[in-house]
Structure 1
Amino acid sequence: MSIYLPELFSELRKFIIKNGEPCRVPNKGIVLEDGLYLFGHVLSAGGRCIRDEELAWALEATSFPDCTEKATPPRLHPPYIEYYADGEYALALANGGDGVYLLENDGGAVRCVCKTNITLDDFIKSAEILEKWIKRLALA
């Protein structure tokens, strides 16, 4: 399973604008992308909000990985959560079997950046929640 966050965020923003309740955007929170915000258990876009504790937790759990050590996983396994990708470069989180790794793919060559502070259980649970939302938003 591979989750491309920019596509998910774009569809999530549209969903919130169409289905969310009117609300005010608070001054603090996480900017997921231009016009899409997370604060607590609330996601906001276009002056509308939805409250989803599970989705908010999954996004927060994977939003800011910290490198704990420079390491190369013996093997990579799904799920993968991609933060950014273009034709030549990608940045993603991946299951390394013994932890969650932040990876770079530059011109087709995969380079491990580091092992992160995200637990494997939290990563897998987050990916399952995000995948459920992808299906809900009809991205799959």
Structure 2
Amino acid sequence: MATIVEWIAIALALAGAIVCAISAFGLIRLPDVYLRSHAATKSAALGVLFVLVGAFLFFWVVDGEINAKLLLAILFVFITSPVAGHLNGRAAYRSGVKLWKGSVRDDFKPVLESGGKSGPETAHEAEPPKRP
């Protein structure tokens, strides 16, 4: 049983390393800060989590101990990585960084124009679609 879990831990660590490498290529090759931020958050959210989960499984099965530090690190990365990526993108947008010319949608512009309101509270304020 331990051998199977060891191989699963190795596969998770390898998958995490591959995701981090692909994310690094994305950071270099993608054209604007928003797409690069997306690549960076995928690295932390998926790559690092795969490595940490693989390490957690390895220490749990092979050594027989549940490592609280690894569990806290998994929880911390899982919660903070998407939030940090979102805040970086939002800060870049608010500071005037232009979207890449190939971008086809700007979903944040109407939110800023409406005074920061979004969601159901502004649904009744919008004009209903005109029917032909």
Higher strand share: 1
Where on the TM-score scale, by shorter chain, does this alignment land: which range? Answer: under 0.3
When Rg is computed on C-alpha atoms for both structures, the one with the higher figure is 2
Compute the TM-score of the two structures, normalised by the length of structure 2. 0.27
Compute the TM-score of the two structures, normalised by the length of structure 1. 0.26
Higher helix share: 2
